[in-house]
Structure 1
Amino acid sequence: MLKQFEEITPGMEKDDVLDLMGSPTQTQRFHGKDRWTYVFYDKRIKFVKEVQFFEGNAIYVGDVWQPPAEKNAVAMDSLNDRKNREIDEQIARDVEGHRRSYDEYEKKSKGEDKVRYVPDFEPVR
């Protein structure tokens, strides 16, 4: 199987790959591409190989494609968590600012923001 897989080249059509390798172990459609995964053993060594097709022609032949480390799911999740925390902190600051502004407005509208002097009068007898 390994020698047969090495005969696959980019540009081959799906039918040619099927004739050469047979049915894939797994198929997947991802970002407009068909991904066929072949799992086979050669001298007790497990091989997992992949062929990607776009519009019926092979565009990638090799090991199972993995996204770059900065784009994998764990990295993206941690980046999104950090952004979400920043947004939550900004919202909390905004809420506190609005609360203070409302308290100041309320004091101003009631006139509590001004110091009022009320003189002491002695009662008239």
Structure 2
Amino acid sequence: MIRYLAIPVVLILLLTTGCQTSMLKQFNEVKPGMEKDDVLDLMGSPSRSERFHGKDRWTYVFYDQHLRFEKEVHFFDGNAIYVGDEWQPEVAKSAVTMDARNEERNKEIDAQIAKDVEDHRRAYQDFEAKAKGTDKVRYVPEFEPIR
């Protein structure tokens, strides 16, 4: 009797293990415009999620045929607006580029401040000289003492 029950159980297990679909195929079914619930039903919970500038960013990390994939879905107002590989900002807007621009601008500002400080120091010295009268050459004739 146990033997007759074991055969259908083994067959069911074999059939259900062959029905698994790869996460990569499931992810390829995710399209922009899908709602969060639809993505959750299809892919399950994300490996990571974050909220930035009013957008939700879900990251799915999975393996398919021994290859690691990291895919992202971005949502705005509950709808997917980006589906694909890990999103990278434009090179012109990347943190490294912005830091380099800011550093260059800071150097320009520092140079301008140093120039202004030197100009103000000279202007004060000129003002002080005029106020004391040391800026003018004074001619004092030499007199011979009277005997």
Whether the TM-score (by the shorter chain) exceeds 0.5 is yes
Q: Which residue of 1 aligns with 2:35?
A: 13
Q: Which residue of 2 aligns with 1:27?
A: 49
Select the residue among 53, 58, 61 that pairs with 2:75: 53
Q: Are 1:93 and 2:115 an aligned pair?
A: yes
Whose helix fraction is larger, Structure 1's or Structure 2's?
Answer: 2
Equivalent AA in structure 1 for residue 41 of structure 2: D
Alignment of 1:72-91 (within 5 A): 72-91=94-113
Q: Which residue of 2 aligns with 1:103?
A: 125
What is the RMSD of the two structures over their aligned residues, measured on CA atoms?
A: 0.7
Following TM superposition, by how much is the alpha carbon of 1:16 offset from its aligned partner in structure 2, in angstroms? Answer: 0.7
Q: Which residue of 1 aligns with 2:88?
A: 66
Following TM superposition, by how much is the alpha carbon of 1:49 offset from its aligned partner in structure 2, in angstroms? Answer: 0.3
2:139, 2:96 → 1: CA distance? 65
Select the structure with the greater relative contact order (CA < 8 A; seq sep ≥ 6). Answer: 1
- Identity across aligned pairs (percent)? 70
Count how many residue pairs are aligned between Structure 1 and Structure 2: 125
Equivalent AA in structure 2 for residue 7 of structure 1: E
2:54, 2:145 → 1: CA distance? 93
Report the TM-score, using the length of structure 1 for normalisation.
0.98
Following TM superposition, by how much is the alpha carbon of 1:71 offset from its aligned partner in structure 2, in angstroms? Answer: 1.3
1:60, 1:67 → 2: CA distance? 13
Structure 2 residue matching 1:41: 3-state secondary structure: strand
Report the TM-score, using the length of structure 2 for normalisation.
0.83
